[in-house]
Chains A and B, each alone.
Chain A
Amino acid sequence: MITLFRKPKPGAAPRRLTLHILRCNPADPASKPYLQAFELEEAEGMTLFIALNEIRATQDPSLQFDFVCRAGICGSCAMLVDGRPALACRTLTRDYGSDITLAPLPFFELIGDLSVNTGKWMRGTAERLQTWIAQSEAVDLDALEARMEPALAEAIYELDRCIECGCCIAGCGTAQMNENFVGAVGLNKIARFRLDPRDTRSDADFYELIGDDDGVFGCMSLLGCHDICPKELPLQTQIAFLRRKMAVEGLR
């Protein structure tokens, strides 16, 4: 997380920003990737959400990007900001120089310009890792809920906060070399369901899902994921913990 918070000097003229945006439109077979520069005046509190929308409204209506919540909670707008994966909507321009380079997240299928298809990959990974509560019994809707220790509920939420933005995959060395790697997002989900007593799966079941090089043993511990995660999830400890549990399981 970059927390420079350059405060503009009072009375100073607003900066001219130049956004260098990597453009490509796969819908057009002739389209080749190129960097296009857009200039605009910086405003107070300007985020990349505001800047990109201003460019689209006033300079190039064809520019493609994804925003939904514009509040840093939905994970739609991850992109490379000066080469580093980040949520564009909550990236303040004042924390950067007057030249900012924007590129789509690597690894994911490109839709166009800054828009990538994270949703398709996340659904595929969810199906592959079965990231849901596996239960055998039907829920009695009329009865009191099952009890849970308050601290455990909070610990589960800590891991449940993942927003599937794709930053961890984009910043992952292993994923760059092995496109089948489930990444920190996948491993964190397994850690989350493993922690949840409502899920009836055992470590032997989880080993079947992540006990190989595409799973927890593929991680090279470069931990770009941990440094980059916009939600500051404890990915480093979760991956290390899972690896130990899965190693024990593999030796059984």
Chain B
Amino acid sequence: MEIIHSDVLVIGGGLAGLRAGLAAQKRGQQVIILSLVPPKRSHSAAAQGGMQASLANALKGAGDNEDVHFEDTVRGSDWGNDQEVARMFTHVAPKAVRELAAWGVPWNRVEAGERTVIIDGKPVTLTESADAHGLITARDFGGTRKWRTCYVADGTGHAMLYAVSDQTIAAGIPVHERREAVALIHDGERCHGAIVRNLIDGKLTAYVAKATCIATGGFGRLYQATTNAVINEGIGAAIALDTGVVPLANMEAIQFHPTAIFPAGILVTEGCRGDGGLLRDVDGHRFMPDYEPEKKELASRDVVSRRMEAHIKAGKGASNRFGQHLWLDITLLGAAHINHKLREVKEICQYFLGIDPAKQWIPVRPAQHYSMGGIRTDAHGAARGLKGLFACGEAACWDLHGFNRLGGNSVAETVVSGMIVGAAIADFCASPDGELTVSTALIRQCFERAQAEFGAITNHHGKESASLLLREMQATMTAQVGIVRHGEAMNAAVNTLQSLLLRSRDLGLSGRRGGADPELTLAWRLQKMLKLALCVSYGALQRTESRGAHFREDYPQRNDADWLKRTLASWPDAGQTLPTLAYEPLDIARMELPPGWRGYGTRDAIEHPLTAGRQAEVDATRAALAGSDRHAVQAALMPFRHLLPAHLRGDNARLGENA
């Protein structure tokens, strides 16, 4: 048994993992990063439209700051998120974007003078100020009150990922590519690293570390229709679940992106609508203003996706031989804008649809896009249940996003949480708790258990096919645990998934080939993915309300009185076929922004009995401090800076504020 030691083991080489690794190394810890693929191929590269940070440089961003970004994020989450975390995030986002600028990200910049943009279907002339010339500009995105989304054309994630990846190379951090963590090394209390499979030769190695950080992204591949890359199978979350002691939170909170090209599911950015693109139906009618007179195409993603599905159900979908869809019209933006600011979209349309989006409409339909839930952590990224285990990025439920995340907030979260969690990991390693005392017997036991899992599949010779079961799971999730949910359908889905889980214990491989053998890899992952699918569907079935992206026809109202709480799913006994669910209430008494109406979507929430009291407290505090500095008011309502590492606590400069 080969054993590799490091201070910090980061599982996942996307933006969150790389940034956390850099932060930990900067504080003196020795770091190894594992990645399924070369890190620059991670799904972070697919973030197109931009990263939210309240720089307020562009004219339409004037007046923006952390307060506005915070409120947008909480409303977007449908009050399901952790408000302290949202404060930490909105405070650090401008620092992150500026750090990335210094690291070489070619953010698009403000050009002083007049320019024509499309707003609400019409050309409008904006005059950018000379003061802002050359600073980072921003575009409009859904669910935001200001133009806040900093961007690099529509290759923002690519540019960010390359800059951060290059920094890890410069820092000399080893990235072990084509490696998959298949089990955590733990004794039920403390995590000591992971058992890792080499995806080239299939060999297992034990990686022992003081701290382990899971940053493996989301699990979109549980669904048939998804914008996610093929590597987004949720295995990082699954190995945490397998410990039996680490809970996954809010797994039912799944985001569906309104504009995936139909039927391939490839994303075209929200920037298309942010820059003025429109949604049209079979008659060419722009239908979103009928449903959302205020935000129109730029309501939050959950609302737009739901309205689109409802419009299709009302008979207004266009159709091709693959089924029903709607149209995204960006022809009004003009070829010049598309060639400069939406060129990836142009290439995608050209290669996958054979159309020119400057001249033709794009067929779109909502598809699974993002998992708000994941490994439950505290504000520092420490996972619940095991000391020495951390998580960040989409794999984690740090709980920035609650039940719906805003566009541009996740790619921002990757780097912001990486900065914060990476520092916390280093502090943990340097503390007495960080000392590593692990027996080789424990490592061997975990190693042999992982080996046995693969051996059990190879030697079983059962009658089931992994690829067929996988497809059945994906079809079930898309059909029955999708955008519009119903108890009956979800009940059926839970039953189907349970039977698939049992059948997945009777797999037979068609042959055995040397090396990592893709068939064995798929078979092993399938069993993990089915457990995640059960966490999603069973959690969704039990949550008898609608909140953010979790929408139930049979319980259409948001119900704060009964459901202002986080679902915690765990899997204490490997023989179970359903997760064990528990709930964690959100504390209204500590909320800076007590629950209310989002400003878009339906206004019919069932109020929590404590909401009115907390709102009165907040109003009184604001009244008493009227005229005070906004930071002082904020600190009186809900202090958060103590949660940040010292170097990230300072006030952010803006034109006209601390500049």
A complexed with B? yes
Question: Which residues of the other chain, A, contact B104 by a CB distance below 8 angstroms?
Answer: 132-133, 156, 160, 193, 196, 198-199
- Cα-based distance from A240 to B99 in the complex (angstroms): 33
Question: Which residues of the other chain, B, contact A135 by a CB distance below 8 angstroms?
Answer: 102
Contact assessment for B352 and A47 in the assembled complex, using a CB-CB cutoff below 8 Å? yes
Known: A68-B41, A119-B39, A153-B109. 14 other contacts (CB 8 A): A61-B519, A62-B518, A64-B515, A66-B37, A119-B38, A126-B169, A145-B136, A147-B133, A148-B106, A150-B134, A153-B108, A154-B153, A157-B106, A163-B158
Question: Which residues of the other chain, B, contact A69 by a CB distance below 8 angstroms?
Answer: 41, 43, 45-46, 229
Specify the chain B residue showing the minimal Cβ separation from A87. Answer: B351
6 interchain residue pairs of minimum CB distance: A119-B38, A147-B134, A27-B515, A61-B519, A132-B166, A141-B95
Q: Given A123-B38, A141-B95, A160-B159, answer yes or no on A74-B229 (Cβ-Cβ < 8 Å).
A: yes
Question: Which residues of the other chain, A, contact B655 by a CB distance below 8 angstroms?
Answer: 144
Quote the shortest CB–CB distance from B533 to chain A (angstroms): 19
- Cα-based distance from A42 to B313 in the complex (angstroms): 31
Q: Is A75 at the interface (CB under 8 A from chain B)?
A: yes
- Cα-based distance from A72 to B345 in the complex (angstroms): 11
- Cα-based distance from A75 to B39 in the complex (angstroms): 11
Contact assessment for A144 and B340 in the assembled complex, using a CB-CB cutoff below 8 Å? no
Q: Is B642 at the interface (CB under 8 A from chain A)?
A: no
Within 8 A of A (CB), among B130-162: 133-137, 152-153, 155, 158-159, 162
Q: Is B347 at the interface (CB under 8 A from chain A)?
A: yes
A-B contact list, 13 entries, CB within 8 Å: A28-B514, A68-B37, A69-B46, A69-B229, A74-B40, A92-B354, A123-B177, A132-B103, A143-B653, A143-B659, A144-B653, A147-B135, A150-B134
Q: Is B451 at the interface (CB under 8 A from chain A)?
A: no
Specify the chain A residue showing the minimal Cβ separation from B44. Answer: A74
Contact assessment for B37 and A139 in the assembled complex, using a CB-CB cutoff below 8 Å? no
Question: Which residues of the other chain, B, contact A58 by a CB distance below 8 angstroms?
Answer: 467
Q: Is B511 at the interface (CB under 8 A from chain A)?
A: yes
Contact assessment for A153 and B106 in the assembled complex, using a CB-CB cutoff below 8 Å? yes
Question: Which residues of the other chain, B, contact A123 by a CB distance below 8 angstroms?
Answer: 38, 169, 175, 177
Q: Given A61-B511, A67-B230, answer yes or no on A161-B95 (Cβ-Cβ < 8 Å).
A: no
Quote the shortest CB–CB distance from A129 to chain B (angstroms): 10
Specify the chain B residue showing the minimal Cβ separation from A63. Answer: B518
Q: Is B264 at the interface (CB under 8 A from chain A)?
A: yes
Question: Which residues of the other chain, B, contact A131 by a CB distance below 8 angstroms?
Answer: 166, 169
Q: How many chain B residues have a CB neighbour from A under 8 Å?
A: 85
Q: Which of B270-278, B324-332, B644-652 contacts A (4 or more CB under 8 A)?
A: B644-652
Quote the shortest CB–CB distance from A31 to chain B (angstroms): 8
Question: Which residues of the other chain, B, contact A156 by a CB distance below 8 angstroms?
Answer: 104, 106
Q: Is A70 at the interface (CB under 8 A from chain B)?
A: yes
Question: Which residues of the other chain, B, contact A198 by a CB distance below 8 angstroms?
Answer: 101-102, 104
Q: Is A118 at the interface (CB under 8 A from chain B)?
A: yes
Q: Is B517 at the interface (CB under 8 A from chain A)?
A: yes
Specify the chain B residue showing the minimal Cβ separation from A232. Answer: B347
Specify the chain A residue showing the minimal Cβ separation from B321. Answer: A44
- Cα-based distance from A57 to B465 in the complex (angstroms): 9
Within 8 A of A (CB), among B580-595: none
Question: Which residues of the other chain, B, contact A68 by a CB distance below 8 angstroms?
Answer: 37, 41-43, 229-231
Question: Which residues of the other chain, A, contact B352 by a CB distance below 8 angstroms?
Answer: 45, 47, 71-72, 90
The interface bits of chain B over 558-578 (1 if a CB of A lies within 8 angstroms of the residue's CB, else 0) are 000000000000000000000
Contact assessment for A119 and B37 in the assembled complex, using a CB-CB cutoff below 8 Å? yes
- Cα-based distance from A17 to B519 in the complex (angstroms): 24
The interface bits of chain A over 104-131 (1 if a CB of B lies within 8 angstroms of the residue's CB, else 0) are 0000000110000111101100110011
Question: Which residues of the other chain, A, contact B542 by a CB distance below 8 angstroms?
Answer: none
Quote the shortest CB–CB distance from B430 to chain A (angstroms): 21
Q: Is A236 at the interface (CB under 8 A from chain B)?
A: no
Contact assessment for B136 and A71 in the assembled complex, using a CB-CB cutoff below 8 Å? no
**Interface residue from A119, A132, A147 paired with B167 (Cβ < 8 Å):** A132
- Cα-based distance from A149 to B659 in the complex (angstroms): 20
Question: Which residues of the other chain, A, contact B515 by a CB distance below 8 angstroms?
Answer: 25-28, 64, 112
Q: Is A174 at the interface (CB under 8 A from chain B)?
A: no
Quote the shortest CB–CB distance from B133 to chain A (angstroms): 7
Specify the chain B residue showing the minimal Cβ separation from A58. Answer: B467
Specify the chain A residue showing the minimal Cβ separation from B320. Answer: A44
Quote the shortest CB–CB distance from B251 to chain A (angstroms): 24
Contact assessment for A154 and B98 in the assembled complex, using a CB-CB cutoff below 8 Å? no
Q: Is B215 at the interface (CB under 8 A from chain A)?
A: no
Contact assessment for B41 and A75 in the assembled complex, using a CB-CB cutoff below 8 Å? yes
**Interface residue from A64, A76, A153 paired with B37 (Cβ < 8 Å):** A76
Quote the shortest CB–CB distance from A138 to chain B (angstroms): 9
- Cα-based distance from A142 to B96 in the complex (angstroms): 10
Question: Which residues of the other chain, A, contact B159 by a CB distance below 8 angstroms?
Answer: 157, 160
Specify the chain B residue showing the minimal Cβ separation from A91. Answer: B351
Specify the chain B residue showing the minimal Cβ separation from A57. Answer: B467
